[in-house]
Amino acid sequence: MNIPSRTEAQQRADDIRVFRQELERLEREGVLALTEAQRSAVADHHSGLLAQYAQSFDIDSDVRAKQLSLGMRIASFLGALALAASVFFLFYQFWGRFSETAQVAILLGAALGTFAATVWIQGRDASGYFTKLAAMVAFACFVIDIAMLGQIFNITPSDKALLPWAALALLLAYTCDLRLLLAVGLLCLIGFVAARAGTWGGLYWLDFGERPENFFPAAAALFFVPQLIGHRHFAGFAATYRVFGLLSLFLPILVLAHWGRGSYLELDPDVLEGFYQLLGFVGSAAAIWFGARRCWPEVVNSGVAFFVIFLYTKFFDWWWAIMPKYLFFLVLGLTAILLLVALRRLRAAGYRLPGGAS
């Protein structure tokens, strides 16, 4: 049996647990009765699979273990952030006491050493939590390495530094199956593409955030990457690409919907804000429809979240100052109910579609 990732092993283990519960119910209700031989064969097969997964991936074998593993995920994330900050401040506090040669050697040694440690830990950590922690520290050490070289030698800041950072984050993400590092790598890539889009227009690269439209090329690229490159063996990676693609699209639209002066277009700011508000509503509604059609729950959820944000910010603009507060919040509540009804109808329509979202 070839199980390519820990996530898929966990999914299969969850399916087995649900299957066992449902089989028990069906037998109790007299709908299905397996022979002793069949029952034994299924039980042996499942036990073998679970034992193999537990040995290879340290999966959660029951609901309690699953709850604990959520806590472990949070702890490993916070621990990774804290350790990365600790490494930064450790170097920052003592770097001035070393010669430039020693500073470069320490920075390079820390980046290489933590990366080697991550690869070593990955081979011994079936749970993946310690690998994630080590990978974040390795990435932080590499970022500190390049950033401090810039400070030590007064190098002119450049967006090109984002490329090796993105490359290392993606290498760690794909070899260690870490979505957190994938997200970090995608953020670096989004920053690089947006900065390049700005410099192609003749702007200084660090000003790329002042023209939110610079993020649109990155949004389009990220959304369609999973369509071009298969991510079958990387559970959740395709969804992460799509979510970051949508964030790179809708967050700039949200900013432009309230700050028309930030646009490249030399039109009346009020007209531009109206245009981007409309684009926000149409775009988020299209994301809900497209996500439901393609069975991409993360796209539907992102679309719904941004549709609600666009709607509520518009309500705030229109009515917060002129309405009594009880009426304003009543309108918000009624809108939420209306949205629920609309989504329910969409869900019902999805059932009727061949292969539709359910």
Partner 1 sequence: MMTWSRARTFVAGAALILAANAVALVGVAYNRSGEADSLLRLTQRELQLPYGWGLEGESSGFVLTLRWRVPVEESADARVPAMPYQGGAPAWLDKGKLTALGFDVSWPEGTDRGRMHYGKQLARETLLVLELDGPACQQALERARRHVASEEALQAANPGSKEFERRAEGARRGLVQEERVSSRLFLIDAGLDAAALRAKYPDRARYAIVRGQVRPWVIGDKTKSRLSGRVTLSANRINVPHAFRPVFEPLLHGLRRGRPEAEPPFEVAVAFGQRLEPWITAASGKTAAKTDN
- Which parts of this chain interact with partner 1 (CB under 8 A)? 4-6, 89, 92-100, 103-104, 107-108, 111-112, 115-116, 119-120, 122-123, 142, 145-146, 149-157, 164, 167-168, 171-172, 174-177, 198, 202-204, 207, 210-211, 233-234, 261, 264, 266
Residue 245 · residue 220 · CB < 8 Å: yes
Please report, to the nearest 10 degrees, the dihedral formed by the alpha carbons of residues 104, 91, 165, 114 taken in order: 90
* Closest to partner 1 by CB, 71 or 96: 96
Shortest separation between residue 317's beta carbon and partner 1, angstroms: 22
Cα–Cα dist 236/299, whole Å: 13
* Closest to partner 1 by CB, 173 or 247: 173
* Closest to partner 1 by CB, 183 or 295: 183
Cα–Cα dist 294/242, whole Å: 12
Number of C-alpha atoms within 13 angstroms, CB side, residue 253? 24
Shortest separation between residue 10's beta carbon and partner 1, angstroms: 13
* DSSP-assigned states of every residue in 133-148: HHHHHHHHHHHHHHHH
Shortest separation between residue 116's beta carbon and partner 1, angstroms: 6
Shortest separation between residue 245's beta carbon and partner 1, angstroms: 22
* Closest to partner 1 by CB, 228 or 322: 228
Shortest separation between residue 99's beta carbon and partner 1, angstroms: 5
* Closest to partner 1 by CB, 157 or 333: 157
Shortest separation between residue 84's beta carbon and partner 1, angstroms: 15
Q: Identify the residue whose tokens are 């359910």.
A: 358
* Closest to partner 1 by CB, 69 or 175: 175
* Closest to partner 1 by CB, 174 or 289: 174
Ramachandran angles phi, psi of 34, nearest 5°: -85, 150
Residue 60 · residue 69 · CB < 8 Å: yes
Three-point CA angle 186, 188, 192, nearest 5°: 115
For 300-306, the CB contacts below 8 A with 24+ separation are: 300/357, 302/242, 302/243, 302/246, 302/247, 302/250, 303/246, 304/339, 304/343, 306/246, 306/250, 306/254, 306/280
Shortest separation between residue 60's beta carbon and partner 1, angstroms: 18
